[in-house]
Amino acid sequence: MSGESIGRVVIVGGGTAGWMAAAAAARFLDDGQRTVTLVESDAIGTVGVGEATIPPIRGFNARLGIDEGEFLRATGGTPKLGIEFVGWTDGGDRYIHPFGTHGRDIEGLNFHQLWLKLRDRDGIGGIDDYAMSAVAARAGRFAPPSPDPRSPLSGLEYAYHFDAGLYAAFLRHRAEAQGAKRVEGRIVGVDHDARGHVAAVRLEGDRRIEGDLFIDCSGFRSLLLGEAMGVAFEDWSHWLPCDRAIAVPTARTEPLLPYTRATAHGAGWQWRIPLQHRTGNGHVYASAFIGDEEAERVLCGNLDAAPTAEPRRLRFTAGRRQRMWAGNVVALGLAGGFLEPLESTSIHLIQAGISKLFGLFPDMRFTDIERDEYNRLMADQYASIRDFIILHYAATRRDDTPFWNYVRTMALPDTLARKIALFREKGRIFRYDDELFAIPSWVAVMVGQGIMPDGYDPVVDALDADKVAGALRQMRANYAAMAQQMPVVR
């Protein structure tokens, strides 16, 4: 049984979330009867600092029919092969969390288990040496993945760094060309219907916009889901105490590195994101452990070029709304929740929200079945990403500041504690349900942070160890040789 179709989709907010939603809605929901309206206020402005992404962004762009070259030119974009973490384990270390896979499974056995067993033998090297993306990143080189499973390039994956403001403008142009209507104005109130759903938003100047489905992309304020629908915020700052950031762009430097860098400091960490026309930098820190002025000094003392604008300060709280969809309101982006940008996951969460909303698109009855499923799926996504981010802090050995002492000894979510314990035993990792990060990502960060399992999965003893070691040495040589053939990033 189905009900009457939704005719009027209203998107509140024109940041990255709003324009991603509008571009997708204009492309997939426009059946000639449905209208898509986006309301935003230039006077309020956007956050606009999200600049690093993860590989599924390529699928999002492809589904919108976006040409990669055009997109990169429009957004100052560059390729991203992963994230280099500096100083997270004991202060003097560095490792890469690469996109894509490590090595190749042999006879159905997980590559990382084979590596765990043989890692002390001559010529085997670190696990990074088996990730095409990490080997290429270290060499400052890039080439697209190969569809040929025999090529070392088949294990490479990539995403983008881009200017989030330019991306929103690029999507706006496409959305408007496909029929989405933009309304400029500040929302000052919300009208509810008899069911408690949002019936309309009221704008300054006595204007009113009615809708059937409202997508709340209003940023941290969460105008519709939080304020109008009263959905509470679940605070995760006891696990993720960083609550402020200072962002500053600097001039572009050479060579252009095909990865994000995340450098740990005394009470947080600093990002470095290379774009075509500038480098994005920011210090994410915990205000309970460092003052704003000191945090700015740390940032400015660790830049590799001159700033091109004044530093910008931002505040946030880690966590999410208890439900992302209430009544006829679905929140995307910062209106739904925030996880610090350590693994560049916020734009992905917007995209995941859009695709799940379209996959569960309601009709005018707004049944619980679709809503509950959406809320369950999004809650799982948030929790699994949260755990992955916490892992970087919890697995540190740093004891040089009160901040690191706090995160190293804090109580962990049960889900993460179980994952770490399982890995410590025999290096086992399982990917649950709709979890975003795949096994190679968990392995890269666990090993990178210095969690080395006590043993390995005994099933790998079924294979001849000398032969496997020979295969691993060959793989390692192939990745190194392939990287040298790839073009230097420009």
Q: Which residues bind ligand FAD (CB under 6 A)?
A: 13-18, 39-41, 44-53, 164, 186-187, 217-219, 221, 223, 245, 247, 282, 314, 316, 333-335, 341, 344, 346-347
For the CA atoms of 299, 301, 302, 303, the dihedral, rounded to the nearest 10 degrees, stands at 90
Q: What does the alpha-carbon distance between residue 359 and residue 372 come to, in Å, rounded to a whole number?
A: 13
144: left (phi over 0), alpha (psi -120 to 50) or beta: beta
Whether residue 419 lies in the annotated active site: no
Q: In the β-sheet with 198-203, what is the strand arrangement from edge to edge?
A: 187-192, 198-203, 207-210
Half-sphere exposure of residue 190: CA atoms within 13 angstroms, side-chain side? 22
In one letter, which amino acid is 206? D
**Nearer residue to ligand FAD within complex by CB, 51 or 129:** 51
**Nearer residue to ligand FAD within complex by CB, 89 or 218:** 218
Residue from 349, 345, 372, 342 nearest 360 by CA: 372
The per-residue b/e assignment along 372-404, b for 16 or more CB within 10 angstroms, e otherwise, is eebbebbbebbbbbbbbbbbbbbbbebeeeebb
Could you tell me the smallest distance in angstroms from the CB atom of residue 41 to ligand FAD? Answer: 4
**Nearer residue to ligand FAD within complex by CB, 269 or 316:** 316
Could you tell me the smallest distance in angstroms from the CB atom of residue 409 to ligand FAD? Answer: 26
Can you give the length of the chain in residues?
Answer: 490
Could you tell me the smallest distance in angstroms from the CB atom of residue 258 to ligand FAD? Answer: 15
CB 15 within 8 A of CB 46: yes
Could you tell me the smallest distance in angstroms from the CB atom of residue 20 to ligand FAD? Answer: 8
For the CA atoms of 463, 464, 467, 469, the dihedral, rounded to the nearest 10 degrees, stands at 80
Measuring CA to CA, how many Å separate 208 from each of 117, 228, 413, 460? 66, 16, 44, 65
Could you tell me the smallest distance in angstroms from the CB atom of residue 318 to ligand FAD? Answer: 11
For the CA atoms of 191, 193, 194, 196, the dihedral, rounded to the nearest 10 degrees, stands at -80
Q: How far is CA 83 from the centre of its chain?
A: 11
Task: Look up residue 228 and give its DSSP letter.
Answer: I
CB 35 within 8 A of CB 3: no
User: In this structure, what are the phi and psi dihedrals at residue 141, rounded to the nearest 5 degrees?
Assistant: -120, 160
Task: List, in order, residues 6 or more apart from 351 with CB less than 8 Å away.
Answer: 20, 56, 57, 60
Q: What does the alpha-carbon distance between residue 322 and residue 314 come to, in Å, rounded to a whole number?
A: 23
Half-sphere exposure of residue 205: CA atoms within 13 angstroms, side-chain side? 6
Q: What does the alpha-carbon distance between residue 333 and residue 330 come to, in Å, rounded to a whole number?
A: 10
Could you tell me the smallest distance in angstroms from the CB atom of residue 29 to ligand FAD? Answer: 19
Could you tell me the smallest distance in angstroms from the CB atom of residue 430 to ligand FAD? Answer: 26
Q: What does the alpha-carbon distance between residue 160 and residue 145 come to, in Å, rounded to a whole number?
A: 14
Check the CA dihedral 213-187-38-326 and report its sign.
negative
**Nearer residue to ligand FAD within complex by CB, 51 or 163:** 51
**Nearer residue to ligand FAD within complex by CB, 248 or 446:** 248
**Nearer residue to ligand FAD within complex by CB, 341 or 440:** 341
Could you tell me the smallest distance in angstroms from the CB atom of residue 381 to ligand FAD? Answer: 14
Q: What element of type H or E holds 139?
A: helix 132-139
**Nearer residue to ligand FAD within complex by CB, 333 or 427:** 333
**Nearer residue to ligand FAD within complex by CB, 312 or 408:** 312
**Nearer residue to ligand FAD within complex by CB, 152 or 333:** 333
CB 483 within 8 A of CB 152: no
Could you tell me the smallest distance in angstroms from the CB atom of residue 428 to ligand FAD? Answer: 30
> Which residues are tagged catalytic?
80
